[in-house]
Every structure is written in structure tokens, then in C-alpha cells.
Amino acid sequence: MVAVEPKLTAIVVSYNVRPLLDACLESLRAAAAAAPDVPMRVLVVDNASGDGSAELVRERFPFAELRALERNLGYGGGANVGIRAATTPYVLLLNPDTEMRGDAPAAMVRFLEEHPAAGLVGPRLVYPDGSFQHSAFAFPTLAMSFLDFFPINHRLTGSRLNGRYPRAWYERPFRVGHPLGACMCARRAALEQVGGFDEGFFMYAEEVDLCWRIARTGWEIWYTPNATVVHHEGASTRQFRSEMLVELHKSRNRFFGMHYGRAFALGNRAIVCLGILRDLARAALDRKRGRLSVDEWRERCRAYGRVLAV
């Protein structure tokens, strides 16, 4: 994409989301043109997609370097492939369901240049219609685990008790626990200091773990409103998907066991068991009322059983 030495490497880890990847790369092309002062290298790591994503990159985006993997390494494993190939002082870690607005990548680089203690920064995230989206969170607590299963009311789920920062704060930069992993810009030095992503997290919690380790080495984690990124969250994320439910709790249990200690992990497990049993009872009632088919009921039972066995 650039003839001069790049300052930033944008790493997009993709898996079977060709239309989203297309839009993401188009936005990176425009963002690079909008900020010639921050030359950018773009690297796509495709996790063995079967939807023609690799062919799309080769045919439509020759400026992007492609690493087409033979098997799915998960987000962290795919990102590490890109991180190891990066030689620039800054690394942008992207999900393919993001689109840059204006010079968002360069704005994050400028923020890191202006804040030498910052090891990683996240942007303002918005939905496709431009509406507000929580972009950053505090590190997990037992209260957050409880509210995940038992939301009680919207005021609590959107509060500091649930790891959310006040919406008014998003008008200025502030320190955070971790940004949403859809888009994060990091110093390569900070990534190398902690060894990149822990590939033991195949899906979920990998960005929480990364920021936890970066913060423990003395770097600061920030949010900046000067960079805006659209983050697509499709309706499918609200549907029941058994594998994702199981992976979510596997990753959370691993994170808590590694960083929070046995007492916290046991408390979280008690909350999960209570929540899963409540969800199982709800599913049984839905089955009785004909709202779930036999196959759907069996899928949920299998998934809930696997979560309880984690």
C-alpha cells in the first residue's frame, strides 16, 4: 500500500466472513489515503476460510499481504502470525466486522505517540447507524458474571457494576481495563514484551487476557474518542449457538483460573451453574409449550451439559 517505510501494521484475522472482510479492507484503503503521515502495511491472516475470503484478498486487494492458513488457529493464533511478521512500531489488531471512519488507524497511532506510557489504545466504536456502542470495559468481576445471567434491569447492566464506563466519559480519552477486541492499536514493543496473544484462548477472552498481561508489565491501556470505527454486530449473535456458548465459558474459566485465583474461579462457577440451571428450566418450559423443536431442545441440553462440565 505504501512506498515509504510503514509505521503501522494493520492485522485483520478473518474466518468465513467474506462480505465483511471486503468492507473492512475497503475502509483500510480509504484510511491509508486519508493519513499519508502514518504509512500503513495491511496483513490479512485467513483462518482456513471456505467462503473464498483468501481469493477475495488476492483479486481485489493487492495492497494487502495474505497469510492463508491451512487450519483455523483461532483469533489469537491468527493474530500472532501477523504480529510475528510485523516490523513496524505500532500494530492495529482488527476483526473483519469493523470499518474505519476517516483516519482512525492513524489517530490511534498519534495517540500512542503522544502518550508514551500507553501500551495499547482502543477507538470509539459505533453501530452501522452511528449509534453508541460500549467500546471499553473494566476487568471482570463476580458482579459482572452474575449480571450476565441475571440482568435484573438495564440500569445495572449498563453501569460500572457491570464493567461499563459512563457514556459521558466517551467524549474524552480515559484509562480502561481493556477495549473491545474488535479493534485495538498496540505498541509492538508491548506485544513482544508479553509474547502476543495466549493461543490457549481459541475464542473469547483473548483480548482481556492480553490487556491484563500488558497492564501487569507497567503499560497503560486507554480509550480515545479521536478514532471512530464501525463495529457490525449481526442478529446472529443473539441466536443460540452451542459451540460459542461452550467456548465462552471455557475461555472465562481459563482466564479466571490463571489470573484471579481459586476462590474467584469457584465463585464464578457457582454463578454459572445457577444460571445454566435456570436457562435449562426455561428451555424445558419452551419445549413443553412447543417453542423449541426436539432437535433444538437436545442441542441446548448438550450445550448446557458441556458448560456445566467445564
Report the pLDDT value the prediction gives residue 110, as an integer from 0 to 100.
Answer: 98
Confidence band for 43, pLDDT divided at 50, 70 and 90:
very high
* All structural domains of the chain with their residue ranges: 8-141+153-233, 239-309
The class level of CATH for 8-141+153-233 reads alpha beta
Report the pLDDT value the prediction gives residue 243, as an integer from 0 to 100.
Answer: 86
| Residue 259 cell numbers, joined | 489470573
Residue 220: is its pLDDT beyond 60? yes
Q: Please, are residues 88 and 8 in contact by the beta-carbon 8 Å criterion? A: yes
C-alpha span between 61 and 90 (Å, rounded) = 22
Across residues 277-299, what is the average pLDDT? 94
Residue 233 to residues 104, 191, 219, 237: CA-CA distances in angstroms? 19, 27, 30, 7
Residue 280: is its pLDDT beyond 90? yes
Q: Considering the chain, what is the average pLDDT of its residues?
A: 94
Across residues 238-264, what is the average pLDDT? 87
